[in-house]
Chains A and B, each alone.
Chain A
């Protein structure tokens, strides 16, 4: 039997995308659409006293102006989490479609609906908004202080949530004589996803229901949120998700679908399109949480961790979105990655007057790894131990089981990944060579590992549904609620379906579009869950379909089911291997039979009550120009164990993309704000330094394949992990090169100037 899983087959959507024929949101929108444009607040915090719409309404072509005084008095949640039927576990509902209490520079105040973009933009400019300004706060720890501006009424000291971890007795353990104390503060920046297609959507009414076609990762979740935001039954909402130009977590939130849907209902159900500009995408969608982390470790001279403390302060921005889930995930990784008997961890998620932070590739782990892995190298420096040996001694051992998730480390993944990476980089030799350099140009090597777990069980629901429909020719269509967002799950799923059903890959047709009216329920693309979670429902549905096919084969061939198999699209008699008929002939006869016509289909839901660790590492080599305060990345190697590779070429490509994001995180990307006004300063692709073709060395990706025993296909997370360890590996390489421990990213010349000066490497 020809196996499809494990082969680097061509993407199923490659031809459509290589020809420009693949249809994205705007390609599907009729040119008759009315255009909605948002009026964003030009203050960081305050109340809208009035909006004078007269001049805007007088602009020719303007159809309607809606302000925060018109919006329904409904607060709704936006996070792309599965809904919880337990009110205590539901996402925080803290924003309205348009807000009178504006909480960041860029909040939604009003919306103009016009016949064309020019009229809509002119009318937005013609709106006269009067504000009552309030003090604002951008810094996460300032926001927690007594007397800080109150951003959300419900959050005392602006604290959205706090959680902790306690193991052993930190206070007693740290008093052991002879321990070395290592302490550090680590800051990570606000960054944005920068998918090349901005978020946008269009909405219209049809048969008394509102239909939204959106660039989203999570159509079924958006359906629920639109229903909640508009206060209408969820069945009155239909969401359609076409191809999307990247998401990376930003589109794992209900963004402007609720507002666009509402706009359509306010103009008699006419077609309304709402597209974000790049500038709006940076500020008024979602960003990555900036997290400040304080770590103290008490270590014996031999490198044994005795007691550790972590405090993490997560900058939520104006609205809850994914909220505390991000910093909590990072905090929970801390005691697992380097098990230590005495641990105290606290994390806070705090409202500030910045853009709302939500999900972004890695979901708190890039922040946690920058802090945690930087700190590990700071420990190594303090006790004069090699970063490699320290990790070999202290990293999560084989057989480790997390009590909460029941995740288990089945294989010696960390050592295997590090062994592969150090060989590729010739790490040991270089590490020694680069000790004690002098002179203005110095080189260094560094490494960092990462912790990641697949999917969201047991914190949230994990389920996936799949439908397979057999055609007359023996080919089939299949659908899942998990979405193709560029990562390649349509292709990986097709490979899985081909093998599980027993038909050639060419006979598998994926229905790429999700339409909540016809796609079985699934929560979408996030948490690097697609191959893992989708694999369960695909395998289960394939088995159900096979059972039905073989039952029909029994009727048509008179052979017992136990002696029948479906191999490569042929019904085979197992005892002698004879092909009895093709699946196409079977399906045609079954469908058109005058005695017992049957359309052979299967649909099942799999609930998944397991989860899987997915680990790996990054090794970096840098060259640092000390007088120029510039670090150049020479090489970056990532090694991952994501279990069995479904499609090695696509897996490698996925790793490249994550590494690229990690390089930007480490060296160049940061959304900056004016301290005096809270205004974003660089919300465009020119001033926000997204890595270009020229900012990368050759990206080297490799794998260790330990099949994941809980997955039907031996697979686990790969989407997000590649973004998690690159930045601290670069930071640690700079430490190796210069002896200077950097405490924040991105590591720009500004940061290096400050740190090199402190270290006496440069003078003014």
Chain B
């Protein structure tokens, strides 16, 4: 294999609907780039080895731990962070509002990651059972909520989007 010493590389991608480019250290994680170069404060660092889910972002609609995804791999991708969910006048999306209303947020550190996985779940348009939702959300760790109100928030929004009554 050819040995080369390129340390910086330009990466072009779409961030929250806008085409952007940055020259980054090839060793940098997507977390690093989003936090340091784009000041996306919703992308949190909890372990930096893909265990806790706090740095979760959507890449082409799929949830990824951005801490173990190299920044340069974002080339040509559509990356969404929590910042991209907000309406033009600061309106919360339905899932953010549900997290607020269901008291699913405490310290707030895991919340952005959870909300983005919830977006992936909701955008599938499918109806899931509680057990399925628990499994789909299990890539995120939370020490404050016991996950209970997070489940309520996701479930409530899922049924709302499906136009169905929330089962008792």
Contact = CB atoms under 8 A, between A and B. Distances in A.
Contacts of A246: 106-107, 109, 143-144
B101 interface: yes
A693 B50 CA distance: 16
A660 to B, nearest CB: 3
Nearest to A687: B51
Contacts of A24: 41, 44, 109
Contacts of A654: 106
Interface in A549-569: none
B47 interface: yes
Most chain B CB atoms below 10 A, which of A196, A245, A661: A196
Interface stretch (A14-22, A92-100, A131-139, A180-188): A14-22
B42 interface: yes
Given A23-B41, A31-B36, A653-B106, A197 B46 contact: yes
Contact of B146 (A13, A245, A278, A696): A696
B100 A15 contact: yes
A275 B48 CA distance: 12
Contacts of A21: 41-42
Contact of A657 (B46, B143, B151): B143
A15 B92 contact: yes
A579 interface: no
B138 A486 contact: no
Most chain A CB atoms below 10 A, which of B36, B97, B105: B105
Contacts of B85: 19
A694 B36 CA distance: 33
Contacts of A196: 44, 46, 52, 54, 107, 109-110, 141-143
Contacts of A467: none
Most chain B CB atoms below 10 A, which of A17, A20, A245, A277: A20
B103 interface: yes
Interface string A464-505: 000000000000000000000111100000000000000000
Interface string B108-132: 1111100100000000000000000
A329 interface: no
Given A196-B44, A278-B46, A693 B147 contact: yes
B140 interface: yes
A681 interface: no
Given A15-B100, A690-B141, A696-B146, A195 B107 contact: yes
Q: Please classify how large the interface on chain B is, using the bins under 10, 10 to 19, 20 to 34, 35 or more.
A: 35 or more
A659 B112 CA distance: 23
A659 B109 contact: no
Contact of B83 (A8, A20, A193): A20
B146 A657 contact: yes
Contact of B107 (A19, A485, A650): A485
Nearest to A14: B100
Contact of A656 (B42, B101, B141, B146): B146
A659 B111 CA distance: 19
Interface residues of A, number: 59
A33 B69 CA distance: 24
Nearest to B134: A693
A247 to B, nearest CB: 8
Contacts of B86: 19
B74 interface: no
Contact of B41 (A18, A20, A197, A686): A20
B141 A248 contact: no
Interface string A341-359: 0000000000000000000
A9 to B, nearest CB: 10
A713 interface: no
A235 to B, nearest CB: 31
Contact of A698 (B54, B115, B148): B148
B80 interface: no
Contacts of A198: 45-46
Contacts of B108: 13, 16-18, 22, 243, 245, 486
A690 B111 CA distance: 17
A10 B100 contact: yes
Given A17-B105, A246-B144, A656 B149 contact: yes
Most chain B CB atoms below 10 A, which of A193, A685, A690: A685
Contacts of A195: 107, 109, 143
A685 B42 contact: no
A246 B108 CA distance: 8
Contacts of B146: 656-660, 691, 696, 699
A684 interface: yes
23 contacts: A15-B100, A18-B111, A18-B115, A19-B83, A19-B86, A20-B112, A22-B41, A23-B41, A196-B110, A196-B142, A196-B143, A245-B109, A278-B47, A485-B107, A486-B107, A486-B108, A487-B106, A650-B103, A653-B144, A657-B106, A660-B147, A691-B146, A698-B148
Given A22-B41, A277-B48, 18 more contacts: A15-B100, A20-B43, A20-B111, A24-B109, A196-B44, A196-B142, A197-B54, A277-B47, A278-B48, A278-B49, A650-B103, A653-B145, A654-B106, A656-B145, A656-B147, A690-B143, A693-B140, A696-B147
Q: Which 9 A-B pairs have the closest CB atoms?
A: A20-B42, A486-B107, A245-B109, A17-B108, A660-B146, A656-B146, A685-B51, A278-B47, A486-B106
